[in-house]
Amino acid sequence: MGPKGATHDERRRLAYMSGMARISTPCIRVCLLDRETGLCEGCGRTTDEIARWGTIGEAERLAIMAGLELRMRRAFLPEATCPAPPAQAGGLDRP
């Protein structure tokens, strides 16, 4: 463990550096928040998700990560490159 008397932050940093506290993350260290969408342009997370990332469970992190690619496509790419939403039941495409 860390040296006796180390602060909480120092112990967390030492644990992270030693590989003991690795968690799943979509972060690619391109942290730039888009003002219009509120999403990070690097990973696609919201500021709330980024702030809570270290405190939520692995299952929730993985669920968020599963939707990030589509979220980023919808937010940052032209409409033509995004898949259309599924048709409503009965084959009628009404808004």
Would residue 69 count as lying in a domain?
A: yes
DSSP state, residue 55? T
Would residue 68 count as lying in a domain?
A: yes
- Domains of the chain: total: 1
Would residue 36 count as lying in a domain?
A: yes
Q: Which residue has the tokens 């008397």?
A: 5
Compute the radius of gyration of the chain from its Cα atoms: 19
The pLDDT of residue 45 is 98
Would residue 21 count as lying in a domain?
A: no
Would residue 43 count as lying in a domain?
A: yes
The pLDDT of residue 2 is 47
The pLDDT of residue 82 is 61
Range of the domain at 62: 26-75
What does the alpha-carbon distance between residue 53 and residue 63 come to, in Å, rounded to a whole number?
Answer: 12
Task: From first to last of the 95 residues of the chain, give the pLDDT tens digit.
Answer: 445 677 777 766 666 666 555 789 999 999 999 999 999 999 999 999 999 999 999 999 999 999 999 999 999 997 755 666 666 666 555 44
